[in-house]
Amino acid sequence: MRGSAGRRWSAAAAAWVRRQPPKAKAFLGVVAGMAALVLIRALVHDHDNLFVAAEAAHALGISVLIYKLIKERTCAGLSLKSQYLTALFLAVRLYCSLVMEYDIHTLLDSATLATTLWVIYMILFKLKASYMEDKDNFAIHYVVLPCALLALLIHPSTSHNIINRIFWAFCVYLEAVSVLPQLRLMQNTKIVEPFTAHYVFALGVARFLSCAHWVLQVLDTRGRLLTALGYGLWPPVVLLSEIVQTFILADFCYYYVKSLVGGQLVLRLPSGVV
């Protein structure tokens, strides 16, 4: 009885949100995000754990992707162009880690890059027959070139080599928009099978936790963290990039949760989500 009552309440709440105009939905999204940050700040005392949790969520998403490709033997619903962008920003970030700040994140990026390259190989050579090339029609130069230009204009003001600082900025900007081809493909198909939906939702959770980590660190240091990152436009733009990553996936995550609560195995996206 309690379960059915909870589902009715969730359905009623979802129906109410759907009836709201776009500006009201955006406001509700901001309020929900702020409430989540307050809750996380109260429950998680060491905010570095949020970064670990973000990496764990990302790893879980990749595990789901690997399972899909190996067990289901299909890459239907996956964007090869998103994988290209992911491999590109990971390769650049790995280079920056090696020449600027070698740490545990270097090992994590190496593992993620290797997995991404394997996914690209599977799509191109082993499962190409199931690749939805006609639906994967996002022009990636529309994001790569602006990210490169922005990196030339706005980059860290550290003592590192200027080329390395530009590369660092480029991978930060490209990561923020790397999921756009995947979202476009799902919008084109309108129907998202479970494993792809789980993978993208895991990316959304990882991005939110990473964003929460940055925002709470800035709040706890009373803005000193931004000063530590350098001066000029770079510190606020880094924080803005984290927020952009979260909001890009927020709409999809809403429909994912709604579909999950409704007991639907296949996610159906309405027009205009992406």
Q: What would the pLDDT profile of 178-206 be if each residue is shown by its tens digit?
A: 999 999 999 898 888 888 888 998 988 88
| Section 134-145 average pLDDT | 95
pLDDT score for 240: 84
| Section 156-179 average pLDDT | 89
What single-letter amino acid sits at 86?
T
Per-residue pLDDT at 249 exceeds 50 = yes
**More confident position, 48 or 207:** 207
Per-residue pLDDT at 55 exceeds 70 = yes
Percent of the chain residues topping a pLDDT of 90? 32
pLDDT score for 180: 94
The rounded distance, in Å, linking the Cα atoms of 77 and 97 is 32
Residue 57: phi and psi, rounded to 5, are -65, -40
| Section 58-77 average pLDDT | 89
* Interval 94-105: pLDDT, tens: 998 888 776 667
Crossing angle (nearest 10°) for helices 234-261 and 22-43:
100
Per-residue pLDDT at 132 exceeds 90 = yes
Per-residue pLDDT at 125 exceeds 90 = yes
Alpha-carbon distances of 8 from 5, 210, 245, 262, rounded to whole Å: 5, 32, 32, 9
**Closest by Cα among 173, 69, 166, 160 to 116:** 69
Band (pLDDT 50/70/90 cuts) for residue 114 is very high
DSSP 27-59: HHHHHHHHHHHHHHHHH-S-THHHHHHHHHHHH
The 3-state DSSP class for residue 267 equals strand
Helices (H), 190-233: 194-220, 224-228
pLDDT score for 259: 76
The rounded distance, in Å, linking the Cα atoms of 116 and 110 is 10
Rounded to two decimals, the pTM is 0.80
Q: Is 133 exposed, middle or buried (0-12, 13-18, 19+ CB in 10 A)?
A: exposed
**More confident position, 72 or 107:** 72
